[in-house]
């Protein structure tokens, strides 16, 4: 058997570089597909639960599906299709129908944290991902079961 | 006189360094091809899902590299094992172990199901001999040959080939064990009679026996890599 030339080593290095680029490209492509940067929204504590809005800026007429988690546990899901004229006025959306409201069932009297996620399909529906909307929403439930807003840091 | 001794000493040192270099390159070649296979099974499949074009990229890269490596090392198709002159000699070596594996597979199927149910025919079984030939080419026609360059002929290189073949079938544990055994047999036979057609025949017959008799749930439908989970 012939002793290989330096070209074989160069090819091995080249192959490794190509594979690294392919994997890196795939990772970026997948990240953009699975967790796209075009969801915007916000959530806040109200007297009865959590309200907010969600917009898909890549598809401004779409009614986005959102899910509420409290203390890391799934609570409910909803379609963000309630009127939010303030969102339209602020230029976040093309129409006002992007609001959502979750009524909270009675919680234990203590500090809690709510998170609202956008449910996003990718890969022709084979993958589903949750993307956090805005910041986590801290709140306090007092002994009377009243929800008290805690300003975010 | 002392100049000649110095010269021959330097020549011997150069030869040792060159041999070590050849061994290292051979190991690097193995690592490179195994990496491509793992990328195809785990990374590309999990990222690109059903995209066959993207999924084929690491396989095409590995295949192109293997063909180039054969050319660089002056290996012919006959050297690699695409030949017929030793087909029957290789078949003779494979007959007993393959028959034993088939009997064991049928026994496993019998004891796990308490009956011998033959699974329905699937058209993709027709591609199995080709797939087996491709796998045997990569495993023995390339990896085994490079393992022999790096570690020499014998148990060490045979073990490396079997371990690699088994690794590529993770996380399907039963399949990993079976492919380790198959890898040992096929690698050992290849080192005595390098014939890829005979190996592919033994591989196809064993795979048919597995696919047709052993419960698909036990083998998770022969799925490996990321596909194993879904």
Which residue of chain B has the CA closest to A123? Answer: B49
Instruction: Kindly list the residues from chain A whose CB atom is less than 8 angstroms away from the CB atom of residue B58.
Output: 19, 22
Closest CA to B182 of B207, B162, B159: B162
Q: Which among A5, A26, A127 is the nearest to B72, CB-wise?
A: A5
Lowest mean pLDDT among B65-69, B82-86, B173-177: B173-177
CA distance A26 to B166: 27
Q: Which two tokens stand for residue A50?
A: 């959590």
The answer to whether residues B152 and B19 touch, using CB atoms and an 8 Å cutoff, is no
In sequence order, which ranges of chain B are alpha helices (DSSP H)? Answer: 2-38, 45-48, 52-72, 77-80, 87-113, 128-136, 145-151, 155-167, 173-192, 196-213, 216-219
- Of A3, A12, A126, which has the smallest distance from its Cβ to B32's Cβ? A12
Q: Which residues of A touch B (CB under 8 A)?
A: 1-5, 7-9, 11-12, 15-16, 18-19, 22-23, 26-27, 29-30, 123, 126-127
Nearest-CA neighbor of B148 among B206, B86, B79? B79
* Residue A123 buriedness (CB in 10 A; 0-12 / 13-18 / 19+): middle
- Chain-centre distance for alpha carbon B43: 20
Of B22, B35, B65, the CB nearest to A3: B22
- pLDDT tens by residue, B18-37: 667 788 999 999 999 999 99
Q: At A6, is the secondary structure helix, strand, or coil?
A: helix
Sign of CA dihedral A54, A58, A63, A69: negative
Which secondary-structure segment (H or E) carries B139?
A: none
Of the candidates A77, A96, A90, A32, the residue with the CA atom closest to the CA atom of residue A58:
A32
- Smallest CA-to-CA distance from A55 within A102, A90, A103 is with A90
d(CA A136, CA A68): 11
Three-state secondary structure readout of A82-140: EECHHHHHCCCCCCCEEEEEEECCCCCCCEEEEEEEEEEEECCCCEEEEEECCCCEEEE
Residue B19's Cβ-side half-sphere holds a number of Cα atoms within 13 Å equal to 9
Please indicate whether, in this complex, the C-beta atoms of B29 and A123 are within 8 angstroms of each other: no
How many angstroms separate the CA atoms of B66 and B169, rounded?
21
Does the distance separating the beta carbons of B47 and A8 come in below 8 Å? no
| Average of per-residue pLDDT across B11-15 | 60
Mean pLDDT of A25-35: 87
pLDDT of residue A4: 77
Q: In this predicted complex, what is the ipTM?
A: 0.81
Enumerate residues 23 to 62 of chain B having a beta carbon within 8 A of any beta carbon in chain A. 25, 28-29, 32, 35-36, 39, 43-44, 47-50, 54, 57-58, 61
User: Which among A4, A26, A30 has the least Cβ separation from residue B25?
Assistant: A4
pLDDT of residue B14: 57
Decide if A114 contacts A50 (C-beta within 8 A). yes
CB-CB under 8 Å, A26 with B44: yes
A vs B: CB pairs below 8 A? 65
Confidence of residue B11 (pLDDT cuts 50, 70, 90): low
**Average pLDDT value for chain B:** 87
Rounded Cα distance between A142 and A150, Å, is 12
The closest of B200, B204, B160, B205 to B184, measured between CA atoms, is B160
Supply the pLDDT for residue B121. Answer: 67
Q: Which has more pLDDT, B47 or A111?
A: A111
Nearest to B65 among A11, A22, A126 (CB): A11
Contact B143, B30 (CB under 8 A): yes
Scan residues 125-164 of B and list those with Cβ closer than 8 Å to A: 149
CA angle, residues A123, A126, A127, in degrees to nearest 5:
75
* The two three-digit tokens of residue B135, written as one number: 């796998």
Average pLDDT, stretch A17-28? 91
Taking only the tens place, the pLDDT of each residue in B102-133 is 898 888 878 876 666 666 667 777 889 999 99
pLDDT at A122 over 60: yes
Query: What are B32-44's pLDDT values in tens digits?
Result: 999 999 998 888 8
pLDDT at site B82: 97
For chain A, say whether B74 makes contact (Cβ under 8 Å): yes
- Contacting residues of A for B54, CB less than 8 Å apart: 26
Match 């234990």 to its residue by tokens. Answer: A108
**Binning pLDDT at 50, 70 and 90, where does residue B9 land?**
low
Q: Which of A1, A5, A12 sits opposite B75 (nearest CB)?
A: A1
pLDDT digits (tens, 9 = 90+) for A72-85: 999 999 999 999 99
Contacts of B111 (CB under 8 A, 6+ apart): none
In this predicted structure, what is the pLDDT of residue B225?
86
Residue pair A133/A87 in contact by the 8 Å Cβ criterion: no
Asked if residues A122 and A129 have their Cβ atoms less than 8 Å apart, the reply is yes
Predicted confidence at residue A130, as pLDDT, reads 93
């Amino acid at each position: 058997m012939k002793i290989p030339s330096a070209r074989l080593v160069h090819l091995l290095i080249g192959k490794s570089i190509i594979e690294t680029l392919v994997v890196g490209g795939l990772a970026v492509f997948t990240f953009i597909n699975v967790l796209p940067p075009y969801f915007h929204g916000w959530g806040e504590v109200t007297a009865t639960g959590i309200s907010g809005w969600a917009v898909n800026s890549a598809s401004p007429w779409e009614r986005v599906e959102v899910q509420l988690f409290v203390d890391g546990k799934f609570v409910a899901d909803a379609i963000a299709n309630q009127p939010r004229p303030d969102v339209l006025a602020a230029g976040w959306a093309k129409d006002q129908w992007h609001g959502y409201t979750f009524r909270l069932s009675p919680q234990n009297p203590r500090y809690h944290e709510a998170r609202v996620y956008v449910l996003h399909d990718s890969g022709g529906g084979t993958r589903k991902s949750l993307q956090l909307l805005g910041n986590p929403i801290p709140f306090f439930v007092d002994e009377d079961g009243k929800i008290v807003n805690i300003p975010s840091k | 006189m002392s100049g000649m001794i110095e010269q021959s000493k330097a020549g011997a040192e150069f030869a040792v360094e060159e041999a070590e270099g050849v061994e290292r390159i051979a190991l690097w070649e193995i690592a490179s091809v195994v990496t491509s296979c793992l990328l195809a099974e785990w990374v590309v499949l999990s990222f690109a899902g059903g995209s066959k074009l993207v999924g084929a990229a690491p396989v095409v890269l590995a295949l192109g590299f293997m063909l180039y490596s054969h050319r660089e090392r002056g290996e012919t198709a006959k050297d690699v094992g695409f030949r017929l002159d030793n087909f029957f000699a290789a078949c003779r070596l494979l007959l007993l172990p393959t028959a034993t594996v088939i009997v064991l597979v049928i026994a496993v199927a019998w004891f796990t199901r308490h009956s011998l149910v033959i699974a329905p025919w699937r058209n993709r079984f027709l591609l199995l001999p080709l797939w087996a030939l491709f796998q045997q080419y990569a495993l023995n026609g390339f990896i085994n040959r490079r393992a022999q360059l790096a570690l020499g002929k014998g148990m060490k290189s045979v073990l490396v080939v079997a371990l690699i073949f088994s690794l590529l079938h993770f996380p399907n544990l039963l399949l990993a064990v079976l492919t380790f055994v198959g890898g040992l047999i096929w690698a050992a036979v290849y080192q005595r009679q390098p014939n890829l057609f005979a190996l592919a025949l033994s591989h196809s017959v064993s795979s048919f026996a597995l696919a047709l008799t052993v419960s698909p749930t036990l083998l998770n439908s022969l799925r490996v890599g990321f596909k194993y989970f879904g």
